[in-house]
Every structure is written in structure tokens, then in C-alpha cells.
Amino acid sequence: MLVTRVSKIILVAAIALYATLVAFGNVTDYGSNFVFMQHVLSMDTIFPDATISYRAIDNPVLHHAAYMLLIAAQIATALASWGGAGKMFAVRNAAALTFNRSKGWAVAGLTLGFLVWQVGFMTIGGEWFGMWMSSSWNSLQSAFRVFITIVGVLIFVAMPDADIEH
């Protein structure tokens, strides 16, 4: 059904827009958001008696490298998702096989977005660096909200489409 295809395109574009705005904010307001990365990697706001503090990274060069890697992954998520939405839009009225084959960039962008927010924020930031212990530098709730939204869109987009009845 055409409305389902258009819905998939719009949802991928919505994720692309979100990743674009996040990356834009991180680039144009580098300093404000960089502080977040510094605190998480330095583990300076976790529980004082936590025994995982040996994992802390105190090197500012590594803080910048990690932050630039995060921004690059957010930009890649945005670009792949925009590309996927565009490819799907271009063949929205085509045969099911053609439309289903057009989803590659969208699936790649959504998968990368999932990895950024689930692996980057939840797993590495939250678990490895103990971000969950911080009352001031903790983005686990927002990261969860983002990656659950992305995985929902990914599941919907990955569902095979049938031919459109005319």
C-alpha cells in the first residue's frame, strides 16, 4: 500500500532530521556538549566509593577524539538516513522488489543510529564509564528514548512491502 511506503519514508526522514539536528548542535555548540563527554569519560561524578573508577580517561586529547568520533557517527547516521529516505522516495511507486531493495541506506542509517545511542551512550557511557551513577551527567533516559524510537522505525522499515494495487 502506498501509504505504508510513504509512512516508512517519512519515519526514516524524521530520524535523519533528528540526527542532523543533534550533530549540528554538537558542531555549532562544541564546547557546551564537549563538557558532557569530559565528565562521562573522566568519571568525576560517579559514586565516590565506586570501584570502577580505574576506567576513567583523563586525557583531553582522547576526550576530543571520542567526541569527534561521536559527532562523525551522528553525521553518518544523518547522511545514510537522508540517503535512504531519498532512495525510497524515488521508487515509492515501483514494484515491491524495487522498493524493498531501495531500503539499504535507510537500514544502514537506522542501524548506525541504534549503535550510536545504544552502544555509545547506553553501553559504553552508561555501563563502562558508569554514567548511570551521575546525577548531573547522565543521558541514559534520553538515549533509551532515542534508540527505542530508532529500533521501532528500523523494524517497520525492514518489513517487506507488497506490490501496490492500482
Q: Which DSSP letter does residue 164 get?
A: P
Tell me the one-letter amino acid at 21.
Answer: L
Separation CA 88–CA 83 (nearest Å): 9
Give domain status of residue 163, yes or no: no
- What are 75-119's pLDDT values in tens digits? 999 999 999 999 999 999 999 999 999 999 999 999 999 999 999
- What are 12-52's pLDDT values in tens digits? 999 999 999 999 999 999 999 999 999 999 999 999 999 99
Give domain status of residue 165, yes or no: no
Q: Which three cell numbers stand for residue 161?
A: 512491502
Q: What is the pLDDT of residue 35?
A: 96
CA distances from 92 to 51, 66, 86 (A): 54, 38, 10
pTM for this entry: 0.94
Mean per-residue pLDDT over the chain, rounded:
96
Give domain status of residue 126, yes or no: yes
Give domain status of residue 166, yes or no: no
Give domain status of residue 101, yes or no: yes
Q: What is the number of structural domains in the chain?
A: 1
Give the domain range for residue 83: 2-158
Where helices occur in 91-159 by DSSP H, the ranges are 96-101, 104-114, 140-158
